[in-house]
Amino acid sequence: MEDRARALFSFGIIADVQYADIDDGMNYRGTRRRFYRNSVALLRDAVRHWEETRVSCVIQLGDAIDGYNKSRDASERALDTVMTEFEKSSADVHHVWGNHEFYNFSRDSLMASALNSAGRAGAGSDRAGSDLIADDIYAYEFSPAPKFRFVLLDAYDVSVIGRDASSEKHQQAMTLLQKHNSNADLNQPPAHEKRFVKFNGGFSAEQLQWLDAVLTLADQRQERVTVFSHLPVHPDATDSICLAWNYEELLAVLRAHKSVVIFISGHDHDGGFCTDPTGVHHVTLEGVIETHPDTSAFGTVYVYEDQMLLKGSGRTADRVLKYPREITVSE
């Protein structure tokens, strides 16, 4: 293991807290226990750990509170409970949005909520890139340290849960979903291309173009880019039912840019990992909600010149993530 004191900086990652003040239950398939009430205690432990390790920032990968809160009229209260824990972090917390955010809140109310962390991108954000994306797409980028860039994606940009039912984008998403899924319950996967379910979504052409522009600039600046998304995009890093609808298009953009080093997602509570033939590592982080109270599931990533070191806690494994390409300094 590398000497952690030598790291350039470090950051925390956590996924699928899905907090609700209800008794334990099971997942939809009845195969995994969900610890709704205890999940916030595991989040508290993670934040405490990151305070001790003095991370530069924390990335929350989506599904901070569970959809059950909505039917109990407890969405705001549950969000307050989770945010109270994140507020104990002296490092900036950046929030990605998942399907459970949209079960609880409309896109407009999320934009106005504590879960909109785009303002924290600050001076490290590249304005040229930001200007290319529409206001209703929740994606942004920033530089956590010189020569490094983080990009947060909106995986429900094209979806039926992340768009108002009266909107054109909702209609387009519904047409796409029904083309691939003929089930009456659209949360039931079709026999093939199982990812075409209501609880997934995808990336619009506009967002892909924006990402391409951000990565082009990062290539030119010889930066190392880490991309965060609620939905995984690599078939070898997740169960196929959890993939983003147009994961191939997103992968094609990632593969076209030498600046990309790591892609980190949540959503698949079992977690996953693979290294693409391009050398880019795809980490799917284990979900807190299906993590026993006796253990944990989060990561602390130590960043070096030539690699990142994922120090996993509990269910999350340690991984050495070597950068795929040498950056050759010209001129």
Q: Cβ of residue 20: shortest distance to Zn ion, in angstroms?
A: 14
Q: Is 41 helix (H, G, I), strand (E, B) or coil?
A: helix
* Under 8 Å between Cβ of 297 and 291: yes
Looking at the DSSP bridge assignments, the partners of residue 224 are: 148
* Paired tokens of 211: 């990402």
Q: Cβ of residue 309: shortest distance to Zn ion, in angstroms?
A: 26
How many of the other CB atoms lie within 10 Å of CB of 130? 16
* Under 8 Å between Cβ of 61 and 230: yes
Q: Cβ of residue 54: shortest distance to Zn ion, in angstroms?
A: 29
Binding site for Zn ion (CB under 5 A): 63, 98-99, 267
Whichever of 149 and 230 has its CB closer to Zn ion, that residue is 230
Q: Compute the half-sphere exposure of residue 62: CA atoms within 13 Å on the CB side of its CA.
A: 30
Whichever of 67 and 299 has its CB closer to Zn ion, that residue is 67
Q: Cβ of residue 100: shortest distance to Zn ion, in angstroms?
A: 6
Q: Is 328 helix (H, G, I), strand (E, B) or coil?
A: coil
* Under 8 Å between Cβ of 156 and 21: no
Whole-number Å distance between alpha carbons of 66 and 19: 5
**Element (DSSP H or E) covering residue 143:** strand 140-145
Whichever of 67 and 144 has its CB closer to Zn ion, that residue is 67
Whole-number Å distance between alpha carbons of 84 and 187: 32
Whichever of 99 and 316 has its CB closer to Zn ion, that residue is 99
Q: Cβ of residue 254: shortest distance to Zn ion, in angstroms?
A: 20
Q: Cβ of residue 267: shortest distance to Zn ion, in angstroms?
A: 4
Whichever of 64 and 301 has its CB closer to Zn ion, that residue is 64
* Under 8 Å between Cβ of 264 and 253: no
Helices (H), 54-161: 68-71, 75-86, 99-104, 107-111, 127-130
**Element (DSSP H or E) covering residue 319:** strand 319-322
Whole-number Å distance between alpha carbons of 209 and 31: 39
Whichever of 91 and 231 has its CB closer to Zn ion, that residue is 231
Residue with tokens 């998942």: 98
How many of the other CB atoms lie within 10 Å of CB of 3? 8
**Element (DSSP H or E) covering residue 250:** helix 247-255
Whichever of 7 and 297 has its CB closer to Zn ion, that residue is 297
Q: Cβ of residue 165: shortest distance to Zn ion, in angstroms?
A: 20
Q: Cβ of residue 266: shortest distance to Zn ion, in angstroms?
A: 6
Whichever of 99 and 229 has its CB closer to Zn ion, that residue is 99
Q: Cβ of residue 149: shortest distance to Zn ion, in angstroms?
A: 25
β-bridge pairing 260-265 and 224-229:
parallel
Whichever of 34 and 149 has its CB closer to Zn ion, that residue is 34
